[in-house]
Structure 1
């Protein structure tokens, strides 16, 4: 696994009211959602990037304003088969 280091100004953590661990999880989730939305990652791969189970990832997409079922019928059947 590759680890990415991100410098975040301390003022920003205060504005976001986030601790280091929760900020890391939030950034990972936001990146996963955006990459999924752009079609760069499958739902399963995006969930893995976010560090959460796929059903939870799909359930949280609406929290980020992303469509949670932007799949073709074939993709949906494949996802259900692999769940």
Structure 2
């Protein structure tokens, strides 16, 4: 795993855990990380990360709406 150093303005009042949660949640939402990978980046268990997603308005069901439409027409 890579290590990244960021300079974040003091006014944002974010610590490294906050940034890890923001990054992992967004990368999961974009489909760049699996649930397990995102949980690892955040330093959480899969279950804890899945429960946290709601507070960031991210669905645990990480599928585009087009997949749902296609699934419905195939059913």
What's the TM-score, normalizing by structure 1? Answer: 0.68
Match of 1:65 among 57, 60, 65: 57
Structure number with larger C-alpha Rg: 2
Ranges in structure 1 where 5+ consecutive residues have no aligned partner? 72-83
For residues 2 and 35 of structure 1, what CA distance do their matches in structure 2 show? 15
* Larger RCO (CA under 8 A, 6+ residues apart): 2
1:53 deviation in Å?
0.4
For residues 10 and 30 of structure 2, what CA distance do their matches in structure 1 show? 30
Residue correspondences, number:
63
For residues 17 and 59 of structure 2, what CA distance do their matches in structure 1 show? 20
Ranges in structure 2 where 5+ consecutive residues have no aligned partner? 64-75
RMSD: 1.4
Partner of 1:44: 36
Partner of 1:9: 9
Per-residue CA deviation, residues 21-74 of structure 1 (Å, 9 max, x unaligned), is xx1111101111111111111000000011110000001000000002336xxx
**After the TM superposition, which parts of structure 1 deviate over 3 Å for at least 4 consecutive aligned residues?**
none
